[in-house]
A and B are shown apart, each in its own frame.
Chain A
Amino acid sequence: MNEILEKKKLAYGVHLFWIKNELIAKKAKPGQFVIFRTHDSGERIPITIAGVNNNKFRVIVKAVGKSTYELCKLQPGDKIADISGPLGMPSEIKFYGKVLVVGGGVGIATIIPIVQALISSGNDVDVILASRSREFFFLTDEFENAKNVYYVTDDGSFGDKGFAHEKMDKLLKEKQYDIAWAIGPALMMKACSEVAKKNNLKIWVSLNAIMVDGTGMCGGCRVLINNEMKYTCVDGPEFDGRLVNWDSFMIRLSQYREEEKLALERYLEKVGEPTWL
């Protein structure tokens, strides 16, 4: 259990893992996440499930701090000390008609199961994939059953130059959609939600709040949705992006910025140049 079966580097600092865990593989639904603790003095971090296959599940990890650097250093055969899950409410998958799904950065991994489930439910799905530049796209072949796939890069190295929400805005001028999803960095989700709001389109976003237990026990991941307090781990992680109080969400995300920086620095002092990233 919890053994890393396969590992693949997708881009600088972005790694794919297939992990053995029958229970999670059997029970996970699109939109759900797991909580990892890599070792005994480790912290509990939430990571979205990006696919299942028989007795294993897949995650895509972006190295952003000590715990994710550590995780990315692990190799096939290594074990994760603890994995709790699946957690969170699954995405609301059903027949809507025409659906637009936006994935940005590692959010591209998160939307794969959602897009595939939406297609299986008979929806026409258009996908916008956004990243910093060309080399940060991955697993794009898994979107082959989508109606259209549009690429956007910050630097224009592939597809349209610009941001995901700009592409979304453009598409909404040409086409009608019944519902949308946008998953990626907070700023991207916020911008997409504003575009959706302007167009009167319901949009699901997946909030990557700071969590500890991930089971509704502490309220650390609380967010304001339509001015009401909700717990991301049990009420979400998906919410209607038009109702999210984004400013408060992003301020809460930055709560431990100094501590996160300190932990990473100390870690790098110990292990040296992170050549494995």
Chain B
Amino acid sequence: MAVKDRIPPVERKPEERAKDFEEVSLGYTEELAILEAKRCLQCKVPTCVSGCPVGIDIPGFIKEISKRNFEKSYRILKSYNSLPAVCGRVCPQEVQCEGVCVLNKAGKPISIGNLERFVADWAMQNNLEDKITIERKINKKIAVIGSGPAGLTNAAEMAKRGYVVDLYEVFHTPGGVLVYGIPEFRLPKAIVNKEVAFLEKLGVNIKLDIPVGFAVHPMELLETYDAIFIGVGAGTPKFMGIDGTELNGVYSANEFLTRINLMKAYKFPEADTPVKFAKNVVVIGGGNTAMDAARSALRLGANVTVVYRRSKVEMPARKAEIEHAKEEGIKFQTLTQPVRYIGNNGRLVAIECIKMKLGEPDSSGRRRPIPIEGSNFVIKADMAIEAIGTQANKLLLSQFEGLELNKWGYIKADDYGKTSLPKVFAGGDIVTGSATVILAMGAGKKAANAMEKFLY
């Protein structure tokens, strides 16, 4: 029997969506979702589950979709994953669940991400109440630092198990990278807010605007709480450090995206935070952050080029987003590395770049880029956005006396989030370095198990 091709989700046309920040993919209709769900072979030993960092019963929830039991499907999904509407949208499924679907051998894998998203959205649209069962109240206090995917998951898990949870967030809105990093056109903030509201229903006490490390010393937390989970992410931007980095018009992707996503600078002057509306924007990097920055700049009316030092094959961004970016008219200049920003009266006007060639694979397994001497050339640009990665925020961690860090400055923690300090657990990007939303959530959940064991 030939495998039917997978059903594509409904998407807005590139020429229309490139002008606003509304969501690009509209997802599946009920009928499309059922059609796609019916393609699933319902494997007895499902390989897809092994590809999911939180081990969702994928055939289980898909089977219920094919039977039009959307509510039951949602209950299954939600028992594994507290943020399904988010994960269905932002997980790099091609290297996770969908990457190991057996249908890869015969054709296209099941569109698991889109199905997950469909069920979560269906539940939201039908105002399906989350069933909250807190077995017993436990008179022990947990502090969760950071309200990104790791912290949200850990807080939800601990609250469900009956603990008293205080969630500390430095920003005025909870969500971490889900609110300041990933743009509206990929992840509507209304969805994040709804999923955060679930935490409040669980009784999690969300404390906003509190910079732990400044307003609250970590040692005070250690005295007040029975256990602590650190989920502060890797939020400090790296700069290449080339000449001219201080010029006006040079941004870190963190700054650009925070202005756009969290502060809604694309609505300036209706929103008070400004952002430059540039003509020629160069985004440096090849990850999801680079794609998000490039597509955001495009939506502000710019002509955008992504400059990446390796070739397209090595780009770490989600495939779907690279495709979306191309469709929207973003240009890619691969095997290219900026060497100097050129300014005029303190403003960026151009970027000097050098061409690269690929050498032997490095420790990451990707072929190492090597500069081709004398191949320098200049690109006109009035804005440059560096999306070359982030690192740990050293300040906070240094205040936890005795907390061991690895050589990159991230927290040393075992697979269960245990750190060198007995009461302190950690997970997400602050342990692994920049990774994915779902891995951070998985870490938050695993740490909850370990914390429960520790507190028992």
Residues of A participating in the B interface, judged by any CB pair closer than 8 Å: 23-24, 27, 32, 37, 41-44, 66-67, 81-88, 212-213, 215-220, 222-224, 229, 234, 245, 247-248, 251-252, 254-256, 259-260, 262-263, 266
Contacting residues, chain B, for A24 (C-beta < 8 A): 215
Asked whether A44 and B263 contact (CB < 8 A) given A216-B236, A217-B235, A259-B268, the answer is: yes
How far is it, in angstroms, between the C-alpha of A234 and the C-alpha of B211 when the chains are bound? 11
Whether A81 lies near B172 (C-beta < 8 A) is yes
How far is it, in angstroms, between the C-alpha of A87 and the C-alpha of B237 when the chains are bound? 18
- Chain A residue nearest to B271 (CB atoms) is A41
A-B pairs with the 10 shortest C-beta distances? A251-B346, A259-B274, A218-B255, A43-B272, A84-B209, A82-B172, A43-B273, A219-B252, A220-B255, A217-B235
Asked whether A234 and B274 contact (CB < 8 A) given A27-B214, A251-B248, the answer is: no
Contacting residues, chain B, for A245 (C-beta < 8 A): 246
B322–chain A nearest beta-carbon distance, Å: 25
Contacting residues, chain A, for B345 (C-beta < 8 A): 251
Whether B237 lies near A84 (C-beta < 8 A) is no
How far is it, in angstroms, between the C-alpha of A247 and the C-alpha of B343 when the chains are bound? 14
CB contact between A213 and one of B171, B210, B239, B276 (< 8 Å): that residue? B171
Contacting residues, chain B, for A220 (C-beta < 8 A): 251-252, 255
B233–chain A nearest beta-carbon distance, Å: 9
Tell me if B's interface is mostly helix, strand, loop or mixed: loop
| Per-residue contact bits, chain B 341-356, to A (CB 8 Å; 1 contact, 0 not) | 0000110000000000
B310 interfacial contact with A, CB 8 Å: no
B218–chain A nearest beta-carbon distance, Å: 13
How far is it, in angstroms, between the C-alpha of A41 and the C-alpha of B268 when the chains are bound? 10
A229–chain B nearest beta-carbon distance, Å: 7
B311 interfacial contact with A, CB 8 Å: no
CB contact between B215 and one of A37, A67, A85 (< 8 Å): that residue? A85
How far is it, in angstroms, between the C-alpha of A216 and the C-alpha of B345 when the chains are bound? 27
B393 interfacial contact with A, CB 8 Å: yes
Whether A66 lies near B272 (C-beta < 8 A) is yes
Asked whether A263 and B214 contact (CB < 8 A) given A212-B259, A217-B235, A224-B246, the answer is: no
Whether A262 lies near B171 (C-beta < 8 A) is no
CB contact between B264 and one of A41, A81, A251 (< 8 Å): that residue? A41
How far is it, in angstroms, between the C-alpha of A213 and the C-alpha of B255 when the chains are bound? 9
**What are 10 A-to-B residue pairs whose CB atoms are below 8 Å?**
A37-B172, A41-B264, A43-B263, A43-B273, A81-B172, A212-B255, A216-B393, A220-B251, A259-B274, A263-B269
How far is it, in angstroms, between the C-alpha of A222 and the C-alpha of B245 when the chains are bound? 9
B interface, size bucket: 35 or more
Contacting residues, chain B, for A41 (C-beta < 8 A): 264, 267, 270-272
How far is it, in angstroms, between the C-alpha of A213 and the C-alpha of B239 when the chains are bound? 17
B25 interfacial contact with A, CB 8 Å: no
Whether B211 lies near A219 (C-beta < 8 A) is no
| Per-residue contact bits, chain B 198-216, to A (CB 8 Å; 1 contact, 0 not) | 0000000000111100111
Whether A260 lies near B208 (C-beta < 8 A) is no
- Chain A residue nearest to B386 (CB atoms) is A219
Contacting residues, chain B, for A213 (C-beta < 8 A): 170-171, 258
Whether A218 lies near B346 (C-beta < 8 A) is no
A254–chain B nearest beta-carbon distance, Å: 8
Q: A216-B395, A252-B248 are in contact. List 19 more A-B contacts (CB 8 A).
A: A41-B264, A84-B171, A84-B172, A86-B211, A216-B235, A216-B236, A216-B393, A218-B258, A219-B237, A219-B239, A220-B252, A229-B245, A248-B346, A256-B274, A256-B276, A259-B268, A260-B274, A263-B268, A266-B269
How far is it, in angstroms, between the C-alpha of A42 and the C-alpha of B269 when the chains are bound? 10
How far is it, in angstroms, between the C-alpha of A220 and the C-alpha of B241 when the chains are bound? 14
